[in-house]
Amino acid sequence: MARIGVVTFPGSLDDRDAARAVRLAGGESVNLFHSDESLQDVDAVVLPGGFSYGDYLRAGAISRFAPIMEKVVDAAHGGMPVLGICNGFQVLTEVHLLPGSMIKNEHLHFICRDQVLRVENAETAWSSDYEAGQEITIPLKNQDGQYVADEATLDALEAEGRVAFRYVGFNPNGSRRDIAGITNERGNVVGLMPHPEHAVEAGFGPDSVLNGRRGTDGLSFFTSAISTLVAAT
C-alpha cells in the first residue's frame, strides 16, 4: 500500500484532513513532524495547509528551514511526489522547489469559498486521475494567496505546461494569470492554494448543483499520487 507522509509544522491546521484524504483514497497515511530527520520510508509527502509559525516573517518562510524539509527537498529532487496545499504551497516556493511566491490577497481580506478550478495539466503526479480541461470545485481559504512571479517566469510556466490549475469564473486573490497551482519540470512536485483535502467525502465537501456539501472533487489528487506510485513500481 502506498505510504504517504503528512508533515505537521507548528501551526499546521489541515494535517489531519490531509491524512484522512490519503486514507480515503486508499493509501496509508504516515504522520511526520517538522523536527523529524527521517521521512520514514514514505512514498510521497503532503505539506498541509495552515498558518505555520503564525505566518511570521512571510508565509512558509520559517517552516522551510525545518529539519524535515531538507529530506523533503532531497526526495523531491529524486522524483518523489510532493504536494503542497495552501501554506504547504508557500513552503514549497520559499524552499525553491517551485518558482514564484504568494503575497497578501489583492483585496487584503481572508477569503473562504467553494472555488471552481480548471485542471490545466493532467499529467502531474497529483493530477493524473483528472482529464485535462476538467473543471472541479474545492474549497479555498487564504489570506496570502496572491500568486506572483516575474513575467519571464510566468511565460515559462505557461509555455512548459506547468500551470497545473487555474481559477475559473472568479480570481479570488489577484493571482497572476488566474494561477491556482503549478508544478515543477518533472511533474512530481505540485503546489496549489485551494484545498483538495476538504473535498474528499460526501457530506463534508463543497456544495454541488444537485446536493449540499456532496462535492468530492479533491479526492483524485490523492488517488492520482497512488496511481503514479503504483505505475512506477
Partner 1 sequence: MPTIVVHVMPKPEILDPQGKAVGNALPRLGFEGFAAVRQGKRFELTVDGEVTEELLGKAREAAETMLSNPVIEDVVAVEVVTSEAAS
| Catalytic residue numbers, as ranges | 86, 195, 197
- The Cα 136–Cα 205 span in angstroms is 12
- The Cα 181–Cα 85 span in angstroms is 9
Task: Report phi then psi at 192, rounded to 5.
Answer: -150, 155
- The Cα 117–Cα 138 span in angstroms is 8
Q: How many CA atoms lie within 13 A of 184 on its CB side?
A: 22
Q: Please identify which residue in 3, 16, 24, 99 interacts with partner 1, judged by CB under 8 A.
A: 99
Q: Please identify which residue in 23, 77, 107, 113 interacts with partner 1, judged by CB under 8 A.
A: 107
56 lies in the binding site for partner 1 (CB under 8 A): no
Instruction: Closer to partner 1 by CB, 13 or 148: give it.
Output: 148
65 lies in the binding site for partner 1 (CB under 8 A): yes
Neighbours of 84 (CB within 10 A): 29
Q: Which span (10-18, 35-43, 73-81, 95-103) binds partner 1, by CB under 8 A?
A: 95-103
Q: Please identify which residue in 17, 55, 94, 178 interacts with partner 1, judged by CB under 8 A.
A: 94
Instruction: Closer to partner 1 by CB, 149 or 189: give it.
Output: 149
Q: Please identify which residue in 13, 28, 101, 214 interacts with partner 1, judged by CB under 8 A.
A: 101
| Residues ≥6 apart with Cβ < 8 Å to 96 | none
Instruction: Closer to partner 1 by CB, 74 or 150: give it.
Output: 150
Helix (H) / strand (E) element for 68: namely helix 67-77
- The Cα 127–Cα 188 span in angstroms is 10
Instruction: Closer to partner 1 by CB, 41 or 185: give it.
Output: 185
Task: Report phi then psi at 136, rounded to 5.
Answer: -130, 155
Q: Which one-letter amino acid corresponds to residue 32?
A: L
93 lies in the binding site for partner 1 (CB under 8 A): yes
User: 170: which strand partners?
Assistant: none
Helix (H, G, I), strand (E, B) or coil at 53: helix
Helix (H) / strand (E) element for 19: namely helix 15-24
57 lies in the binding site for partner 1 (CB under 8 A): yes
CB of 92 to partner 1, least distance (A): 12
Instruction: Closer to partner 1 by CB, 94 or 114: give it.
Output: 94
- Looking only at residues 137 through 196 of this chain, which bind partner 1 when binding is defined by CB under 8 A? 146, 148-150, 174
Q: Which span (104-112, 120-128, 156-164, 208-216) binds partner 1, by CB under 8 A?
A: 104-112
Interface residues toward partner 1, by CB under 8 A: 57-58, 61, 65, 93-94, 99-101, 103-108, 146, 148-150, 174
